[in-house]
Amino acid sequence: MNPLQREAIAITKELGDIVFVFAVAVLSYLGWRYRSTRDLDIAMASKLTKDQLEQRGYTIFPERGKEVIRSPRGYKIDIYTNDVSDIPIEIVFNTAREVLIGNDTIKVASLELLLVAKLRAMRPSRPQDREDFNKLCERNGKSIDWKALNEIAKEIEVFRIRESVMALAL
Amino acid sequence: MDIGTHVDMHAMMIAQQLPQKPVYRVKDIASVTGSLPTAYRKFWKFEEMGIVERVKRGYFTLKECAMQPIPVIKHLMPSLKALKEGRTFGKYYSETDVRIASQLLDGFVTLDYKAYELTRLQTPATLYLYVNSVDNAVKVLKENGFYEGTKGQVVLLPRYGDFTNAIQRMYLDCIAKGGRSILDAVAIEILYSDELSIKGRFPVDLIEKVREDLSLDIVNEPITA
């Protein structure tokens, strides 16, 4: 088991009903050996207060002018409570899929949601998003639920994803 | 060594005007050049320089390094050419391949594994290795049960250009490779700025993101090639 898998299991046990988006979700689709940084993004249905997080061993302190949350093991955590790339949090939860790691289960964003979020995040300052998006299209393009995608994506986004899958899917 | 590929200034200006998309077609270039024949000529130039990769059905992807300033792109040409000619191998198609290949071959490790050793920013996946003779290295790998293909975690690269400053070369390789390797390049620039005489241009928010990620106070598990 790699360190990020261990961390995802630990965070799920500590924080309860959460959905991993971005890094952990990408790894769950592309394989846990795929490259990743050590920051984690999670969606939560209801926001935990600073006290509640600290009771669970999380630390919150300012770093370079921003409030940064770290897990008890030092991983940086970004928490989304309203939306993920403009996709409402309810949809993130309703479409999430479960991933089994050993005897434990974590929840990750659906492939369709991840593709839309990556596409919306894509800009010169986020070169990882283009690579992740292209790899997801290449390796998982044939598993996309187009009906589910149509429900969360704009028409132009569905077109871009369809075009990318046509060009890249294995 | 003269690598025989030069930066076409006009082609680079065209590439820098393309909108950001996951995949492109030649008609996207034509929307900038105004004619399809010119677009094809520019596409062939892009391909020669190694800034695009052909995928399926007439589509191609454009590397982020196309957006670097021209003086930087000139220094990227040996890395781009080496990456374009890189040959990929696998045996078990797992991390084991990396361990076996690094025991069998000598060379200059670059990209994923070297970046991880230098920065601890991102976990590595593929062993990129510059070797003196690609043919000899291929022979060794094949004799040891490796297969050549498009998948695999061992990539052999021919040595083009200057290797006297290892960190500088690594940094340029990361920019040339693009995608997640750009994060490695930024991390190298933050940590080893004094070692670099040629520097790329990156968005401020990307530098800030990498700076934040580098400051993670956790014990990193050693991953060696």
What tens digit of pLDDT does each residue of A22-54 get?
999 999 999 988 888 888 999 998 888 999 999
Q: Which long-range contacts (CB under 8 A, 24 or more apart) does B217-222 make?
A: B217/A70, B217/A74, B218/A38, B218/A73, B218/A74, B218/A75, B220/B120, B221/A3
Quick: pLDDT tens for B10-23.
899 999 999 989 99
What per-residue confidence (pLDDT) applies to B219? 39
pLDDT for residue B2? 56
SS (H, E, C) chain A: CCHHHHHHHHHHHHHCCEEEECHHHHHHHHCCCCCCCCEEEEEECCCCCHHHHHHCCCEEEEECCEEEEECCCCCEEEEECCEECCEEHHHHHHHCEEEEECCEEEEECCHHHHHHHHHHHCCCCCHHHHHHHHHHHHHHHHHCCHHHHHHHCCHHHHHHHHHHHHHHCC
Of B23, B182, B205, Cβ closest to residue A163: B23
Helix, strand or coil for residue B80? helix
- pLDDT tens-digit series, residues B169-184: 999 999 999 999 999 9
- Measured between beta carbons, which residues in chain B are less than 8 angstroms from residue A134? 22-23, 61
Residues of chain B found within 8 Å of residue A115, distances taken between Cβ atoms: none
CATH for A1-109 is 3.30.460.40
Partner-chain residue, chosen from B23, B125, B213, that has the shortest CB–CB distance to A39: B213
Which chain A residues are Cβ-neighbours of B113 within 8 angstroms? Answer: none
A164 half-sphere exposure, CB direction, 13 A CA radius: 28
Distance in angstroms (rounded) separating the CA atoms of residues A28 and A100: 10
Confidence bin at B88 (pLDDT 50/70/90): very high
Q: Does B184 touch chain A (CB under 8 A)?
A: no
Pick A124's closest partner by Cβ from B55, B67, B179: B67
pLDDT of residue B225: 52
All domains of chain B in start order, with CATH = 9-62 (1.10.10.10), 80-214 (no CATH)
ipTM: 0.89
Chain B positions touching A131 (Cβ under 8 A) are 178-180
Do B59 and A68 make contact, defined as CB atoms within 8 angstroms? no
Q: Are B123 and B116 in contact (CB under 8 A)?
A: yes
CB pair distance less than 8 Å for A76 and B213:
yes
**Residue A170 banded pLDDT, cuts 50, 70, 90:** confident
Nearest Cβ partner for B216 among A76, A122, A131: A76
Interface size, chain A vs chain B, as Cβ–Cβ contacts under 8 Å: 103
The pLDDT value recorded for residue B161 is 95
Domain boundaries, chain A: 1-109, 110-170
Cα-only R_g, chain A: 16
Whether the predicted pLDDT of B62 surpasses 80 = yes
